[in-house]
Amino acid sequence: MDTLDTFVDAPLRDVRRDLHAHPEAGWKEFRTTALLADALDELGYDVLLGTETVDPDERMGVPPTDDVAAARERARDEGAPEEYLEAMDDITGVIATRTFGDGPVIGLRTDIDALSLQEAMDDDHRPAREGFASGHPGEMHACGHDAHAAIGLGVAREFAENGFDGTLKLFFQSAEEGGRGGKPMAESGHLDDVDHLLAVHVGLDEPTGTVLSSYDAPLANAKIDVTFDGEPAHAGREPNAGRNALQAATAAIGNLYGIARHRDERTRINVGRVSADNAQNVICEEATMRVEVRGGTHDANEYMLGRAREVIDGAATMHDVDYETSLYGKTTTFENDDAVTERVEAAASATDAVDEIVRKEFGGSEDASYLIRHVQEQGGTATYLGIGASNPAGHHTAYFDIDETAIDIGVDVIVDTIELLT
């Protein structure tokens, strides 16, 4: 396929394919942001970029500066308009607002980041077969955020053309994967006046034609990166001279899994990654690990996180090593509002391509949770909805793809829901 120069009037399927071919992982969505901003600008929206879109202090899991810079240069090379790149100030994501009438302020949150995952490149995989597979080795839109961006753009176009009695605010959020971008955008200040918020996800192992009018109650989670720093020593000559970071990590991991689970709520803990790398005869001076906790409520999650921190602290004390932790990402829980969910159901019922409407609970986590709770805490209402898209392989796998007819269904259901909310 041809790379697009502008998203303003391209078919949404082409926009999705262009994004699929140019996936950008969290906090690196420079081309995606710039092309969306350019189109939204042209569609008459007020466009906010960079530090205006987030509380910068709340950003989590930001990649090393060099990686971000390289991603920006890549975006420039791949046609991202320079003026928008400059306005971003190295922070990706867009907020676009346009007032069409005196009615309520309606927000729509769509996430735009790709995963750090190598896409399948064989002919069993349609993006490969039809020429729009990822051109970025090790990055892939394997969770449908390319379609989310297209849907957000489609909604923007629809109202730019037809208007409605209210104000539309579009939140194109960075770095949903890992739960890194939701909290900073939620605390940007721009959610404060939102009366009703919609968030949308495609796929979710539901067939095209099914709409999840309420996708509800995710687990709260927190991910922390831990580095233990000790002292190396020759394990044969003077083992006592070392301070063994690997023993600290080992003690931590063994005891992290043993944290007492919470009485009434699902609670989880996992260590997904650990690394210490020396010759066999060197006592490890450094060991790193990535830990994740979850809880069925915000409090249960905080309980697990607090206990995990105690275990890590104690493990370092045990083996006389230093340590640092950093929050890689964090999400919270939410409950959808029936008032909004019912509007989604009404809108979906009125959509020809929809043949089933269901409500479902999350098994995992979502950082739209921060935006939703922020709106609800201000007195607004919100719902997270799903658009079935007959995904042929699971989310976060190399063969993930979607039935693209779901894009138009998503636009239709959302546009109708928004109109019903005014």
Q: Which residues bind a copy of itself (CB under 8 A)?
A: 178, 219, 221, 223, 234-242, 244, 246-247, 249-251, 253-255, 257-258, 260-263, 267-284, 287, 290-292, 294, 303, 307, 310-311, 313-320, 328, 363-365, 396
- 23 vs 178 by CB, closer to a copy of itself: 178
CB 162 → a copy of itself: shortest distance, Å?
40
> Residue 368 and residue 184: Cα distance in Å, rounded?
11
* Structure-block tokens of residue 51: 């530090």
CB 230 → a copy of itself: shortest distance, Å?
11
SS3 219: coil
> Residue 13 and residue 10: Cα distance in Å, rounded?
8
- 250 vs 381 by CB, closer to a copy of itself: 250
CB 46 → a copy of itself: shortest distance, Å?
36
Judge whether 158 is annotated as a binding position: no
Judge whether 145 is annotated as a binding position: yes
CB neighbour burial string for 355-392, b if at least 16 within 10 angstroms, e if fewer: eebebbebeebbbbbbbbbbbbeeebbbbbbbbbbbbe
CB 136 → a copy of itself: shortest distance, Å?
18
**Amino acid at residue number 299:** D
- 162 vs 317 by CB, closer to a copy of itself: 317
- 16 vs 330 by CB, closer to a copy of itself: 330
CB 403 → a copy of itself: shortest distance, Å?
23
- 105 vs 276 by CB, closer to a copy of itself: 276
> Residue 160 and residue 152: Cα distance in Å, rounded?
12
- 77 vs 260 by CB, closer to a copy of itself: 260
Judge whether 148 is annotated as a binding position: no
Judge whether 190 is annotated as a binding position: no
> Residue 208 and residue 384: Cα distance in Å, rounded?
18
Cβ within 8 Å of residue 240, ≥6 positions away: 233
> Residue 314 and residue 351: Cα distance in Å, rounded?
57
Judge whether 143 is annotated as a binding position: yes
> Residue 352 and residue 123: Cα distance in Å, rounded?
33
CB 143 → a copy of itself: shortest distance, Å?
12
* Binding-site residue positions for Mn(2+): 143, 145, 177, 201, 396
